[in-house]
Each structure stands twice: as C-alpha cells, then as structure tokens.
Amino acid sequence: MERRSFLRNTAGILAAVGLAGSTKAFASEAKVSNESQFKLKYAPSFGTFKESAGEDLFDQIKFISDQGFRAIFDNGLMGKEPALQEKIASELARRNMDLGPFVLYADFPVKSMVTQDPAIKEMLKKKMEEGVECAKRTGAKWALVVPGHFDEGLEWDYQTANVIDNMKMCCEVVEKSGLILVMEPLNAWTNHPGLFLTKIPQAHQICQAVNHPSCKIVDDLYHQQITEGNLIPNIDKAWNNIAAFHIGDNPGRNEPTTGEINYKNVFKHIHSKGYNGVLCCEHGRSIKGKEGEVAFIKAYREVDSF
C-alpha cells in the first residue's frame, strides 16, 4: 500500500475510534466481539500498545484482548517477580488468552551447548529447574533456548553431538513438568553472527536425534527468511517438530506487509495444517506512536483475511 493511501485510511480509523481524543476512548471504542477474533493466535508483547493502553501491564492485556488477539508473549517473563508472574497468568486465564514461549536460556556469546563443559552442564540444569518453576507459576507451555556460539576449534559434527547430548539432559530435567523446550535458529547475516543454530533443517535434525517430546523448534519466520527462505516447504518438512512461531517481516523486522514475506499465504498455510499454538509478534513497528499501533492492528487484519 502507498504511504499516502495508508495515511488516509489511518486518519479514518483514528476519527472512527476517537483516538485523537483520548487513549481510553480508543481502548473502549475499539473493543471487538468474539466474531472479530483473529483466526490464529498472534501474540503481541508488553509495550506494543503502550501509547494506546498506557504503561500498566494489565491495561495492556485488556487492550490486546479487546483488539481480538488471543495470546501475548513476554521474553522477559523469568525476570519478573513471582507474584507478578502469577498475576499475569491469572489475568490471561480469565481472558482465555495463551502465553507464548518465554526466554529460558539465550546467552549468545557463550559456547554453551556445543561443549561438554561440566560447569556449563550444571548451569543448564539450574536454568531448566528455574524454568520449570516459572512454568508452574504461569502455566506456560513453552520455553525458548538458544544453544549459543559455535566453537571455532571443534569439528562441526562433534558440536552437533554435544548439542544433542545437552538437549537430552535439559529435556530430562523438564519432562515431568510437561514444559516444552523450543530451540530457536537465528540468522547469522543481519543480527546474530557466530551462533551455532541457524537453520530449520539443522534444528529438525537435532530434534530427531534427541527424540524427546520436550524438544521442539520455534520457527522465527523473520530469521529464516534471511537465512534460507523456502518458508512453507521448511514448515512442512519440520512440521512434527515445530511448536511455535515468531513473526517479523524482512527487511526491517517490522509488522507484516512492510517487507517481502507474503504473510497472508504463510498464515493461510499454517492455519490449514490445524495449528493452534502461538505466533509471537517479535518485531518493531514501521511507524512510531499511536499511528504505528493502529498500523500494527491493520496489518494483522490484512494478513489474517485469508
């Protein structure tokens, strides 16, 4: 869409919901019925709509729910006080909203899972135990892990074997709780040079070798567009091991419709496969302020209209 057309449409939306008058007016007038809920569980994060909903986390949950979103994600969940975690979980349950994967372990510069370092293994066990406690408090089903930096001094296949071994160990720690660990491949070209795990086929291979129900993949479509493209075929080939998705268009890592990914077709395909999990909106906004928040919602309405 041309920017002039977008601005005209946005102006109409702003006038319709009374956004120019007050944030509260937007929050109340934009409320939707159940029929207007999104087909898939796109999950904005805390802070996505703070211009419209304010700084309070629970006002933000209400606003997100009122727009028809059925999930949120919070990468920083583990860093919040346990009482706040429980309160967030309670509010999400009251609104019948899901909680996307929280970040359990993602220390990018460290050569962690690619090694057999006993100290690393103890650290990972402790992290997994902390993740289990967080999941118990919040009802979270998925926790994100990143295997860390690759080792320039070790054959790649040995590193793969070490990651498999460490993931088996981590799965054994979390298995009784039912928590699912989702490994995230990340791109090495734009954002995260030097990481071991970069591709969906690679993550799929590790999951197959670990062979544990707690070992799965989060398919970050932004990262994979940069690394390998071929999004839908890779989704199909690794489908049994994909437990969650991250969203972001490329280039720019902003909302769908701002880059080169045909998200309407991708989401249509995911929906056709019966997917009922969370798709985390892990991206920025192409436009600042309240106007950008309206654009965010409008973009998801567009790509969900399959």
Residues 6+ apart with CB under 8 A from 82: 137
Q: What is the DSSP letter of 101?
A: P
Q: What does the pLDDT read at residue 29?
A: 43
Q: What is the mean pLDDT of the chain?
A: 91
Q: Are 189 and 223 in contact (CB under 8 A)?
A: no
pLDDT at residue 259 greater than cutoff 50: yes
pLDDT at residue 20 greater than cutoff 50: no
pLDDT at residue 226 greater than cutoff 70: yes
Q: What does the pLDDT read at residue 13?
A: 41
207-225 tens-digit pLDDT = 999 999 999 999 999 999 9
pLDDT at residue 28 greater than cutoff 90: no
pLDDT band at 44 (very low <50, low <70, confident <90, very high): very high
pLDDT average, residue stretch 290-305: 98
- Residue type at 234? N
- Residue type at 91? E
Please count the CA atoms within 13 angstroms of the CA of 194 that sit on its side-chain side. Answer: 11
d(CA 264, CA 192): 27
Q: What does the pLDDT read at residue 35?
A: 56
Residue 75 burial (CB count, 10 A)? 16
Q: What is the DSSP letter of 228?
A: T
Alpha helix positions (H), 190-288: 200-210, 221-227, 231-237, 263-272
pLDDT at residue 250 greater than cutoff 50: yes
Residue 24 burial (CB count, 10 A)? 13
d(CA 268, CA 135): 30
Backbone angles phi, psi at 104, to 5 degrees: -95, -50
**CA torsion through residues 284, 288, 294, 299, sign:** negative
Higher pLDDT among residues 5 and 112, named by residue:
112
Backbone angles phi, psi at 214, to 5 degrees: -90, 0
pLDDT band at 292 (very low <50, low <70, confident <90, very high): very high
Q: Helices 200-210 and 156-174: crossing angle, nearest 10°?
A: 60
pLDDT at residue 304 greater than cutoff 70: yes
pLDDT average, residue stretch 90-118: 98
Q: What does the pLDDT read at residue 9?
A: 45
- Residue type at 154? L
pLDDT at residue 8 greater than cutoff 90: no
What percent of the chain lies above the pLDDT cut of 70? 89
Predicted model pTM: 0.89
Which candidate, 228, 144, 151, 223, places its Cα nearest to that of 187? 223
118-177 tens-digit pLDDT = 999 999 999 999 999 999 999 999 999 999 999 999 999 999 999 999 999 999 999 999
What class, spelled out in words, does domain 35-303 have in CATH?
Answer: alpha beta
d(CA 236, CA 242): 9
d(CA 185, CA 195): 9
pLDDT average, residue stretch 19-33: 42
d(CA 97, CA 43): 9
Q: What does the pLDDT read at residue 285?
A: 98
Q: Which residues of 194-211 are buried (b: 16+ CB within 10 A; e: fewer)?
A: ebbbbbbebbbebbebbe
Q: What does the pLDDT read at residue 75?
A: 97
Q: What does the pLDDT read at residue 26?
A: 41
What residue spans define the domains of the chain?
Answer: 35-303
Backbone angles phi, psi at 161, to 5 degrees: -60, -40
Q: What does the pLDDT read at residue 102?
A: 98
Which candidate, 223, 153, 159, 151, places its Cα nearest to that of 188? 223
pLDDT band at 230 (very low <50, low <70, confident <90, very high): very high
pLDDT band at 2 (very low <50, low <70, confident <90, very high): very low
Q: What does the pLDDT read at residue 21?
A: 37
177-193 tens-digit pLDDT = 999 999 999 999 999 99
Backbone angles phi, psi at 244, to 5 degrees: -160, 165
